[in-house]
Chains A and B, each alone.
Chain A
Amino acid sequence: MLNATHSFDETTNAAIERIPSTRDARLLLQRAGFTLAMAAVWGFAAGCARPTLALLDVYKVPMVLSLSLLVALPAVLVARHLLDITLSTVALLIVIVSALELGALVLIAFAPLIAVYAYTSQWVAPVLAQWSAGLALLVGLVSLFNGLMKVRAPKGALVVLSAVTAVAFCLAIVQLISLATPILPVHTAFGAGIDGMLHR
């Protein structure tokens, strides 16, 4: 009887494990939603010196993050195709979203500190917010590189794909930040986009 039950469990588990694609796509959406939620919390903390700005940042920061990915994605997919890397779109998206999730974890780690500083310091809070965002971006890019390096493909092609993804994402995020400005209560170097940064 015990043997039969064990055999039943094994067959059932094997049958359920044979349906990975739907589960992967669902997991991807879950993680993307979680990432956006964490970015929204950071946005609220970063803008909480002004209540209206804080509420607007709840929508602005996730918007910047998600649209940056959306804008960078065609370049990444074309690069993957040209480099002949055998990696499905969902698998590639899982690597990218996992990297963004780690970056968002850095953002959420700094959010309480930024919120406290937003109420108590006019000058340090925006600097802290910008540094935390920069650190989150760095962590995300390193995680992306590590994630892509685990894929079974020529390492040279994967390095190029990582570089293309990083450059496309950074170029997109700079312009989208300028579009969503003001995110912080003071003017920043990113407020005027790439033109403002190059003219500095």
Chain B
Amino acid sequence: MTSLVLAKTLAAASFSALVSAGGVLYRRLGARARTEEAEALLEAAFARLERTESKGRDQESIP
């Protein structure tokens, strides 16, 4: 096997690995983004609930 053929094979293998890794990473990032989005929404919902409750308590304490 000449060095040129070896270089061509290596380049092809690297490109295949790069494209596969990109595809896998893209899917994983998609799943992670969905999880993070759900967590952020949940956090926002809790914060809102807490704010509403504290407002309610404040109104109750006013005679």
Contact = CB atoms under 8 A, between A and B. Distances in A.
Contacts of B22: 29, 32-33
Given A8-B48, A66-B15, A179 B26 contact: no
B interface secondary structure, majority: helix
A15 B11 contact: no
A22 interface: yes
Nearest to A62: B15
A88 interface: no
B59 to A, nearest CB: 15
Contact of A22 (B11, B12, B19, B29): B29
Contacts of A22: 29, 32-33, 36
A112 B41 CA distance: 46
A30 B26 CA distance: 8
Interface string A4-34: 0001100110111011001101100110110
Given A18-B40, A179-B11, 11 more contacts: A15-B40, A19-B37, A19-B40, A25-B25, A26-B26, A29-B29, A33-B22, A59-B15, A66-B15, A70-B18, A179-B7
Interface of B: 4, 7-8, 11-12, 14-15, 18-19, 22, 25-26, 29-30, 32-33, 36-37, 40-41, 43-44, 47-48
